[in-house]
Structure 1
Amino acid sequence: MTSRIKFFKEAVKNLKNVGTVTPSSRFLANRMLKEIDFSKVEVLVELGPGNGAITKKILKKLPPNATLICFEINTNFYNQLLALKNSQLIVVESSASNIKEVLNRLGFFKTNHIISSLPLTILPEEVSSEILNKSYQVLENEGTYVQFQYSLTYFRKLKAVFNESISLEFEPLNIPPAFVYRCKKVM
């Protein structure tokens, strides 16, 4: 069974948590990662990686001494990520709302970048707020939080957390087309 069919079946069963029925396209993955200087990455966090469409691209770009930490709550996707068997990858079966506590437990206190595929618009308001606020707290100064969504409804919310340091792009070559929010922590 192809990974797209597996993803579709899992997404249909768990649409409230997954938020889509297709994995991210390579075009969306490339757009989300394009401004990251991977030569300077020490710790990168991915929230809601699903079946690893973006994860695999990140792992190809990571320098040998860097770590990628993925937060995935769906057990089937979690197992697919574990099957990648990469020594730079730490997969955590936990909500992204636990980002600060999990990073601390793993011995990391800051991250250079956060890549998020979480369906923020369908999460409860208090959960999405907690995720955004804790993500901001664990980002190092000048670190980026890159989020895609299928609508513009989260622009104001992201702007409230990241102040004025936010830009918006559009990726038409994804099903469905997606907006990419690029936020920078500036202190």
Structure 2
Amino acid sequence: MLEETRKRDNRRSVRSIDFFRGFMRSPEQVGSIIPSSRFMERRITAMSELADARCVVELGPGTGGTTRAILEAMPADGRLLTIELDPQFSAMLDDIGDPRLISHIGSAADLGEILASHGLPGPDAVISGIPFSTMPREIADTIIEAIRDNLAPGGRFLAYQFRAHVAKFSEPLLGKPEAFEFELFNVPPMRFWLWRRPGA
């Protein structure tokens, strides 16, 4: 147990350095200068309802902290597709070594095509940490439309953000969020919005 805790802490330290480097390289693509806290990761998995998810999509996995937490919460036969613009961040996910993980370099705006290219069904959950506050409105609308059009019936879209732009962009396309929560134990404190596609 002590050795596992030490390994986990070491991974967090390395991810923090890599995350900061990624932020300095492309600040418009990274939502924070440090990785998420354990408290935030727990809130992500709880709100996304992952226990029975067959297919999950993570937009902007960064250095993989949230990715590991999502995989831990998913069933053994689930599949997790990560979509990341930064090839260096995407390469870091190779160390996870989970056969359920599919790492894709590309744009969230192409969600439908990416799912089809990997033979995946409509996702039961889309989890997004990409910073909507730094992207043009047209790109934000395209991404949200792709999420809306590809979610499975009853599927969840969870966005965690420092700023509220995602709600402003999403409400005209998705309606009012089903839930809104706030996580103080993270740097910076993070807001969570949850939408659900109607259906079984």
Quickly name the TM-score band, shorter chain normalised. Answer: over 0.9
- TM-score, normalised to structure 2, is 0.88
Give the match for residue 16 of structure 1: 28
TM-superposed CA distance for 1:9, in Å, is: 1.7
Matches for 1:11-160 after TM superposition, within 5 Å? 11-160=23-172
Q: Which amino acid aligns with 1:15?
A: P
Partner Cα separation in structure 2 for residue 12 and residue 107 of structure 1: 35
Kept after mapping to 2: 8 A contact 1:159/1:166:
no
Structure 1 residues 4 and 165, CA gap change in structure 2 (3 angstroms): closer
Give the match for residue 167 of structure 1: 179
Which structure dedicates a bigger proportion of its chain to strand? Answer: 1
Give the match for residue 3 of structure 1: 15
TM-superposed CA distance for 1:95, in Å, is: 0.8
Q: Which shows bigger deviation, 26-35 or 117-126?
A: 26-35
Deviations 1:7-54 (A, max 9, x none): 112211211111321111111111122134433210000000100111
TM-superposed CA distance for 1:94, in Å, is: 0.6
- TM-score, normalised to structure 1, is 0.94
Partner Cα separation in structure 1 for residue 168 and residue 16 of structure 2: 33
TM-superposed CA distance for 1:151, in Å, is: 1.7
TM-superposed CA distance for 1:165, in Å, is: 4.2
Deviations 1:122-172 (A, max 9, x none): 012111111100011110111100001112233232222212343211111
Specify the SS of the correspondent of 1:111: coil
Partner Cα separation in structure 2 for residue 177 and residue 54 of structure 1: 16
Q: Which amino acid aligns with 1:71?
A: I
Q: Which amino acid aligns with 1:64?
A: A
Q: Which shows bigger deviation, 152-161 or 3-12?
A: 152-161
TM-superposed CA distance for 1:78, in Å, is: 0.6
Give the match for residue 179 of structure 1: 191
Q: Which amino acid aligns with 1:56?
A: R
Specify the SS of the correspondent of 1:2: helix
Which structure dedicates a bigger proportion of its chain to helix? Answer: 2
Partner Cα separation in structure 2 for residue 32 and residue 3 of structure 1: 18
In structure 1, list runs of 5 or more residues that go unmatched. Answer: none
Partner Cα separation in structure 2 for residue 101 and residue 90 of structure 1: 14
Q: Which amino acid aligns with 2:84?
A: E
Residue correspondences, number? 187
